[in-house]
A and B are shown apart, each in its own frame.
Chain A
């Protein structure tokens, strides 16, 4: 655990010493606020409802998560620090977990900074704190899965641009994969499969204030799977 924390600490230090983390978080806040007040028409609706705000989060994550993870391994490769990390007494699992923890912390900071939005909205009307908590939990869990996917893709990428583009594309597919179910009115097994695969489908119930263990299981297992794949690839490269 100490090793995991050492890696996470190093990651966060680098992030906050460089302008990238600030830029990403600021961009996220700006975009979501602009969306809420101008595109979604929060005031025009005349209703203290943040459903619209939270339902666009999966799409925002398509860009936020890759922006936070694109550097994780691709940058280590470019700097050669990949070799440093792999020759320090860390296991591959600890390296992946440390980086993951740091990216979760950055995402948590970004989400925490949106809290003024519901706070301001609560002045306009009464809010169900339970629903809000579920919405935040949902978005955090979805981010957790997206960051695992992003890190995994970064670990197989040579540079951060590739890592960003491939991760964003993969997330976009996972966010939109349940949409054909509605458009094409698919049914049965196909619908169940596409829905099961979709990040946004599992997030939807959270955004309605419902916490379902199946969704929790989906996000947890997706995260673990991709982190495992990242560590597995690293171990495998040592033998080849």
Chain B
């Protein structure tokens, strides 16, 4: 369990984190999302006891990081963004050091190392030196170090950077399965990653929380409107002005002829409230009614979900506008 209250951190006069609060429960994967310099890494560095907060509190399993950093570090597995490894050690020597650092001994130690090696797929590089490993293996070794002692809290700073698509899928699956029994906090600037593995997400911008909630909730909250993509067939011709006849129409964002008597349009509708589920809801109905009344055929109607990408841009630009 992680709890952060009104956290502030400044480095030599520059405020990297300005009053951030959030919580993460056991059995969840919380994603920190934001552009570079939004404060993601700083929050992680505070939670891992690398930096102490300038204000506010950071609690890990109820323990204040600034008060008992060692107890916190014992509970946390951390993969820093830079994936720090000792180049002149072999994979096993590195894990051996991590096991020493975690005070693992005897059978538990062997079991822990074997489990981490297996989960991260490091079996055939055990005797290789770190400097000879590929980027993907280095990343996995870093992750193996982080999960070695089976920590209740896992903090991963951009865990999939530099991996190829197959490796990304593997690592994401691993994180998802770890997230079932642990508290996982990960940072990323890849939006699909949040949608793929996070149970909740915090969007950070300039050291503040810009939005938080489940990935789908954030989409809903920000939408405030529903977008529909339409393909319409109108044998008698159609112009943009006639679209304003659609009940509940807010704006037309694109409109163009596609061929003989066929037009493509994208429209924004008034939010239809709770009915906004997977398929086109009331807004879609309104379009159909309007089309029938106007002698137009609806060839296609697709409800466009605002992607996190768009939300992200929207939020961060709003932040800059202030």
Contacts and interface: CB of A to CB of B under 8 A. Distances in A.
Interface residues of B, number: 32
Contacts of A239: 51-52
B73 interface: yes
A87 B89 contact: no
Contacts of B73: 87-90
B289 to A, nearest CB: 61
Interface in A7-63: 9-10, 13-14, 17-18
Interface string B77-88: 010101111111
A13 B93 contact: yes
A91 B50 contact: no
A240 B101 CA distance: 26
Contacts of A79: 84-87
Contacts of A217: none
B132 interface: no
A13 B49 CA distance: 27
Contacts of B85: 79, 81
Contacts of A80: 80, 82-84
A215 to B, nearest CB: 36
B102 interface: yes
Q: Which residue, of B12, B86, B93, B103, has the highest number of chain A Cβ atoms within 10 A?
A: B86
B108 to A, nearest CB: 15
Interface of A: 2-3, 5-6, 9-10, 13-14, 17-18, 79-84, 86-91, 238-240
19 contacts: A6-B101, A13-B97, A17-B89, A17-B129, A18-B88, A80-B84, A81-B86, A82-B84, A86-B50, A87-B50, A87-B73, A87-B78, A88-B98, A88-B101, A88-B102, A89-B103, A90-B73, A238-B49, A238-B52
Given A10-B86, A13-B93, A84-B80, 17 more contacts: A6-B97, A10-B97, A13-B97, A17-B88, A17-B89, A79-B86, A83-B80, A87-B73, A87-B78, A88-B102, A89-B74, A89-B101, A89-B103, A90-B70, A90-B73, A238-B51, A239-B51
Interface of B: 11-12, 45, 48-52, 70, 73-74, 76, 78, 80, 82-90, 93, 97-98, 100-103, 129, 145
